[in-house]
A and B are shown apart, each in its own frame.
Chain A
Amino acid sequence: MAAKSEPIATEQVAAHPRAGQVRLVLLVIALAALLAAPLFLYPIFLMKLLAFALFASAFNLLLGYTGLLSFGHAAFFGGAAYFTAHAVKVWGWSPEAGILLGVLGAAALGLVMGAIAIRRQGIYFAMITLALSQMFFFFCLQAPFTHGEDGIQSVPRGHLFGVIDLNQPLNMYYFVLAVFVIGLLIIWRFVNSPFGMILKSIRENESRAISLGYSVQHYKLGAFVMSAALAGLAGGVKALIFQFATLTDVTWQMSGEVILMTLLGGIGTLFGPIVGSGLVVTLQNVLATSDFPVTIITGLVFMVCVLLFRRGIVGEFCATKLGKMLGFRTEN
């Protein structure tokens, strides 16, 4: 994504020697806040936040760390929601098995869509993923198991591993929180693995990565499938949170929403998508009661982000003196 952007004059600020400890403390505070949050805020809202934060982080894995803009991630998110909801409701599977099916289904879908889409680069990649996800949308509209416009309703949450009753809001919340943390750990590990380094090299200079002997197509496809699977994890969990799966989650508007969350928070930052999704979900909740269309705001925020601060909120913070002293690195 950074291929042609203008060089930003960066002031060299060395990280403070104790920056690592400060970051650790901040992380612990954030985790403690998440653990205590349901005491103060509505659990469903918090769970929605976490599900979308995971979805946006999965998307960022592709855009931020591989430089591929997918305009079709709703297919994985909404598709997995359908798979999980169907398995749990119709087949009577346990919640963990249902979510696993959602993840595997999204990964399989990602493999097919990715294999077609990586045949073109850049802007074409975006258009192809958009078209393929729209195709999946029409499939969901017509396939009998999705129940068309009605969606799959009253999906039972069931008992996790047969013992933990997920119908208890707090149990459900801590389950979702655990999935979220595990998902983020996977992303963090993936990005910092040798595989992730190669992805970054592809993002920075694809031709050079090819000349160094890497089979770029395989790495791109790997990243695509990984991102799709994690988006599926978020989608499967969302189906259990709201206890339904609908067409809304497979529309292109949803694909656009996740792009906005990532862009607003900061492309290529670990925490950007979380901040971005928090803002977007909160905004939607605030506007849900009025008849003012959310799309006007999201559209304008999109335009402002692209025109004025492309690094996003977290990206801009990382670029400040304080951010650098704390040792945050920006990816673009």
Chain B
Amino acid sequence: MTMIFGVPVQALMGQLLVGLINGSFYALLSLGLAVIFGLLRVINFAHGAQYMLGAFVALLLLTVGGINYWLALILAPLIVGLFAALVEKTMLSRLYRLDPLYGLLFTFGLALAIEGTFRWFFGASGKPYAPPSQLTGAVNLGFMFLPVYRGWVVIASLAVCLGVWLLIERTRLGAYLRAATENPVLVQAFGVNVPLLLTLTYALGAGLAGFAGVLAAPVYQVSPLMGSNLIIIVFAVVVVGGMGSILGAIVTGYLLGVVEGLTKVFYPEASNIVIFVIMAIVLILRPAGLFGKDA
């Protein structure tokens, strides 16, 4: 058996893949957080709950409506985004003038309420969601077997991250968004509907979380609490990356996912906390984060 650093190649590659998959979710979620924070100055604590919502909507679409995975991949983010837009319009938008901490507290309460409601109706146990028939099975890469669905997760998340990055950096809407991040009052004076832009941004961020939830449904089980522990790791990812840049959020997400996977191979006891340790080290050496501008 081939060994690298005293570890079998299969184990190393296997954990690297797991790391890459976790990294895909970290990247999607921290991207959404960064987009929302950039414009709204709100740390969206409900991001984990919206991720869970995405997975549940997909599950319900399948079991109740008989709607398949591919349609759910489009419909679920839209539904989650719509719900988020409603929340933003009716409640969250009242908090912009206040200290950003209130936005964090509000979305924290929202997350608790959503997760509690789902636990009440569906119980705390996880429910399986079968991957679509096109993506079952595995391919032999020579050194390991790659489950097709897991490969798809990495590709799909990369494509969506790239798409969002292009949307923000290369389109007219993205230009408005970036301008409003710099100076909302001035942009509004130029006739851009900034409140609408805020609503859309929150819906976009939440939709990304919903998309990640649908992607995650076949990998992990669908459970009301699937997002609540994840969101804290994503917070750490965001602190490491610095919230200044969209690209930074994406890169840090994948990077930390891989590092976490490698830790599982070399020092499994620390794999739960390695991201938090990295966060602490980054804070000591470079408080603004890897890609952040100095606050």
- Which of chain B's residues have a CB closer than 8 A to the CB of A5? 98-99
Q: How far is the CA of A294 from the CA of B109 in the complex (A)?
A: 12
Question: Which A residue's beta carbon lies closest to that of B119?
Answer: A293
A198 within 8 A of B: no
Binary per-residue interface labels of chain B (66-110) against chain A in the complex, 1 for a CB within 8 Å, 0 otherwise: 000000000000000000000000010011011111101110111
Which of B229, B273, B295 lies in contact with A139, CB distance below 8 A?
B273
Q: A6-B97, A296-B116 are in contact. Are A128 and B239 (CB under 8 A)?
A: yes
Interface residues on B, range: 35 or more
A295-328 contacts to B, CB under 8 A, are 295-303, 305-307, 310
Which of A128, A260, A298, A305 lies in contact with B279, CB distance below 8 A?
A128
Q: How far is the CA of A150 from the CA of B94 in the complex (A)?
A: 44
Binary per-residue interface labels of chain B (182-217) against chain A in the complex, 1 for a CB within 8 Å, 0 otherwise: 000000000000000000000000000000000000
A263 touches B105 (CB 8 A): yes
A188 within 8 A of B: no
Q: How far is the CA of A6 from the CA of B102 in the complex (A)?
A: 13
Binary per-residue interface labels of chain B (102-143) against chain A in the complex, 1 for a CB within 8 Å, 0 otherwise: 101110111111111101100000000000000000000000
- Which of chain B's residues have a CB closer than 8 A to the CB of A97? none
Number of A-B contacts (CB under 8 A): 135
Q: How far is the CA of A141 from the CA of B115 in the complex (A)?
A: 23
A18 within 8 A of B: no
A295 touches B273 (CB 8 A): no
Q: How far is the CA of A110 from the CA of B20 in the complex (A)?
A: 34
A71-127 contacts to B, CB under 8 A, are 116-117, 119-124, 126-127
Question: Which A residue's beta carbon lies closest to that of B90?
Answer: A307
Which of A2, A121, A142, A295 lies in contact with B295, CB distance below 8 A?
A121
A31 to chain B, nearest CB (A): 32
A259 to chain B, nearest CB (A): 7
B295 touches A256 (CB 8 A): no
A67 to chain B, nearest CB (A): 9
Interface residues on A, range: 35 or more
B160 within 8 A of A: no
A1-46 contacts to B, CB under 8 A, are 1-6
- Which of chain A's residues have a CB closer than 8 A to the CB of B284? 116, 119
B272 touches A2 (CB 8 A): no
A296 touches B105 (CB 8 A): no
B287 within 8 A of A: yes
B137 to chain A, nearest CB (A): 35
The 8 closest A-B pairs by CB, nearest first: A302-B109, A299-B113, A299-B112, A295-B116, A296-B116, A135-B276, A131-B236, A138-B272
Interface pairs (24), CB distance under 8 Å: A5-B98, A5-B99, A119-B284, A126-B101, A127-B43, A132-B280, A134-B229, A134-B232, A134-B276, A139-B273, A256-B108, A256-B112, A260-B109, A292-B120, A294-B116, A295-B113, A296-B112, A296-B117, A298-B116, A302-B105, A302-B108, A303-B106, A303-B113, A306-B106
Given A259-B105, A303-B91, A305-B105, 19 additional A-B pairs, CB 8 A:
A2-B99, A4-B97, A120-B239, A122-B101, A123-B43, A128-B239, A131-B232, A135-B273, A256-B112, A293-B119, A297-B116, A299-B109, A299-B112, A302-B105, A302-B106, A305-B109, A307-B91, A307-B106, A310-B102
Give A residues with C-beta under 8 Å from B: 1-6, 69, 116-117, 119-124, 126-128, 130-132, 134-135, 138-139, 141-142, 252, 256, 259-260, 263, 292-303, 305-307, 310
